[in-house]
Structure 1
Amino acid sequence: MLFSKIAMNQDPSEKKYIHGYTATEQERLREQALVIERPIYDFIDFSNVTNLLEIGSGVGAQTEILLRRFPHLQITGVEYEARQIKKAQENMEALGFGTEKVRFIQQDATALNLDKTFDGAFICWVLEHIADPVRVLKSMKPFLKSGAMVSITEVLNSSFYTYPCLPEVMDYWDIYNNYQISIGGDPHVGAKLGNLLHEAGYRNIDLRSGGFHLDSRTNQEKNTVFTYWKNLMGSGASSLIQDGLITDSQFKAMQKGMDSLRAMKDSVFYYRFIQATAYA
């Protein structure tokens, strides 16, 4: 019943993005990137890369971290949504990065037409929103030099677990993920990265699992991550309510549940994402 209800409410000509493009969401993306920077970037090394292609650059949240960690990089960000590019340019200008360091191009990542080649590529939290991620991987391959390193970080939302397990949180999470599937995304795409890269013709594919396992030993970090996750889940609420999949009361119950978990000394937060490194 869930999927038929979504299908009836969805305009097939409209590309939906579960998080939306509000100013609040644009700022959340930057905050999220900083909260989860360490577990992602401690395992990424672009020291030997000069020209980096970033697919799905959004508001520049990851671009900002890439330029801080690897200041020698020149980055070309590809983004589909003009509103995100405008915000990304504003963010880069505010940080003092000019076009000699970073530029943003509005294109569909499944049909790239770029004016140069790159010795590295970066994708983070993007393929989960794309119906056919292999098309993206194949589309960018002609613009990568032989031996170029590709780094991809993606979600595995089925791994999310809290103790105690609260129905108001987990039921909301199930609806959130099913909605993403219904609009052409894949909230579990991280588990498939090896297959996707292999099908797209990349080599020397290596996978690792990263993420969080937080409990009473790390209460400060746990509190931060619970707040971040509550905001992540809340970013989809407008779409879920608009499509009649949840009520405002259910949304508020999820928020209250996450607040209570954050306040419990012995609560547990667990989540895994998947990172892939491969070569063109």
Structure 2
Amino acid sequence: MTAEFPPKYIHGYQEEEQQRLRHQALVIEKRIYDFIDFSNCRKLLEIGSGVGAQTEILLKRFPNLQITCVEYEPKQIIKARENMTQLGFGDVQVIFIQQDAKNLQLEDTFDGAFICWVLEHVSDPIQILVSMKPFLKAGAKLVITEVFNTTFYTYPEKKEIMEYWKIYNDYQSNIGGDPQVGARLGDLLSQSGYQGIELRSGGFHLDSREFEEKRIVFDYWKNLMESASPALLEEGLIDHQQLKSMQEAMDSLKEMKESVFYYRFIQATAFA
């Protein structure tokens, strides 16, 4: 069975990272989910469900859903089941299946599908989109949210941040991912045979007018960048001083009233 993720996964599977994923999902929830409507769906397929960070939000927003979560990494499934149990969600509402999303073998069909922050980690996203299609009912709604990392910008610009960010993105590309995959979603869906494709750009443009939210987002983004540090340190791509310099620069921008945080992700809606 081929791995769903590249041989090296940029964020790793440490417990701290598993907790970060849940926190990240809640910080960015409104920006993503205010434009998602699964109220007419009953059975939802979630690809790359990880620790259930997005599953949790989906179930809270759309309690009518029965979600089948496909995840390749067993450690993430164990944590996801723990999280769902603590939140009071049982097997009737969510089940987890350990499979390679490039070669799905499911026993059910679905009237909706959801992918969030997953395609950035795979070398050939079309394989996943094609593999899903036989398990989606005619007219099933698919929603994908993906990164477009070249859009990240801060004012004032900090060399320590941008150099680290370049190393982060270059590493993700080198291990088989695509940190700009959001920009390609329209073509990827079209080539995979989906219809009614619509794209929107979401994200953050925060300045002194949203000071408290900006502080939260700077912290969130620093944690995101830190999540790659074990891999980057192990590969010798950064040293501890570079990591510390990035962290300090992000902290300084967080407290600066006139600083700006800017980032865009891409969200696609399509139908089977």
For the aligned pair, the TM-score class normalised by the smaller chain equals over 0.9
- Find the aligned partners of 1:232 and 1:147 in 2 and give their Cα distance: 35
**Among residues 198, 213, 219, which one is paired with 1:206 in the alignment?**
198
Give the corresponding residue for 2:186: 194
Corresponding letter in the other structure for 1:262: K
Q: Does residue 89 of structure 1 match 2:74?
A: no
Q: CA RMSD in A?
A: 0.9
Structural mapping, 1:9-28, within 5 Å? 15-28=7-20
- Give the secondary structure class of the aligned counterpart of 2:146: strand
Structural mapping, 1:93-108, within 5 Å? 93-108=85-100
- Find the aligned partners of 2:6 and 2:33 in 1 and give their Cα distance: 34
- Give the secondary structure class of the aligned counterpart of 1:213: strand
| Contiguous gaps of at least 5 residues in structure 2 | none
Give the corresponding residue for 1:222: 214
CA contact (8 A) 2:6 2:176 kept: no
Can you list the C-alpha shifts for 1:120-147, whole angstroms capped at 9, x where unaligned?
Answer: 0000000000000000000000000000
- Find the aligned partners of 1:133 and 1:254 in 2 and give their Cα distance: 31
Q: CA deviation at 1:75?
A: 0.1
**Among residues 241, 247, 256, which one is paired with 1:249 in the alignment?**
241
Can you list the C-alpha shifts for 1:21-80, whole angstroms capped at 9, x where unaligned?
Answer: 000000000000000000000000001100000000000000000000000000000000
- Give the secondary structure class of the aligned counterpart of 1:110: helix
Identify if the C-alpha distance between structure 1 residues 49 and 14 changes in structure 2 by more than 3 Å, giving closer, same or farther.
closer
- Find the aligned partners of 1:183 and 1:81 in 2 and give their Cα distance: 17
Q: CA deviation at 1:14?
A: 7.2
Identify if the C-alpha distance between structure 1 residues 14 and 145 changes in structure 2 by more than 3 Å, giving closer, same or farther.
closer
- Find the aligned partners of 2:35 and 2:99 in 1 and give their Cα distance: 28
- Find the aligned partners of 1:116 and 1:156 in 2 and give their Cα distance: 33
- Find the aligned partners of 1:34 and 1:14 in 2 and give their Cα distance: 26
| Contiguous gaps of at least 5 residues in structure 1 | 1-12
- Find the aligned partners of 1:201 and 1:129 in 2 and give their Cα distance: 22
Q: Does residue 156 of structure 1 match 2:154?
A: no
Percent of aligned positions with the same letter in both sequences?
68
- Give the secondary structure class of the aligned counterpart of 1:238: helix
- Find the aligned partners of 2:108 and 2:230 in 1 and give their Cα distance: 39
Q: Does residue 112 of structure 1 match 2:129?
A: no
Q: Does residue 240 of structure 1 match 2:241?
A: no
**Among residues 174, 184, 199, which one is paired with 1:182 in the alignment?**
174
Can you list the C-alpha shifts for 1:170-191, whole angstroms capped at 9, x where unaligned?
Answer: 0000000000000000000000
Instruction: Give the TM-score normalised by structure 2.
Output: 0.98
Corresponding letter in the other structure for 2:245: A
Q: How many pairs does the alignment contain? A: 268
- Find the aligned partners of 1:115 and 1:94 in 2 and give their Cα distance: 27
CA contact (8 A) 2:205 2:262 kept: yes
- Find the aligned partners of 2:224 and 2:98 in 1 and give their Cα distance: 25
- Give the secondary structure class of the aligned counterpart of 2:248: helix
Q: CA deviation at 1:15?
A: 1.2
Instruction: Give the TM-score normalised by structure 1.
Output: 0.95
- Find the aligned partners of 2:242 and 2:265 in 1 and give their Cα distance: 26
- Find the aligned partners of 2:76 and 2:171 in 1 and give their Cα distance: 22
- Find the aligned partners of 2:65 and 2:172 in 1 and give their Cα distance: 33
Can you list the C-alpha shifts for 1:143-162, whole angstroms capped at 9, x where unaligned?
Answer: 00000000000000000000
Corresponding letter in the other structure for 2:69: G
The list of structure 1 runs, each at least 4 consecutive aligned residues, that deviate by more than 6 angstroms after superposition, is: none
**Among residues 66, 73, 80, which one is paired with 1:74 in the alignment?**
66
Corresponding letter in the other structure for 1:150: L
- Find the aligned partners of 2:38 and 2:6 in 1 and give their Cα distance: 36
Corresponding letter in the other structure for 2:200: R
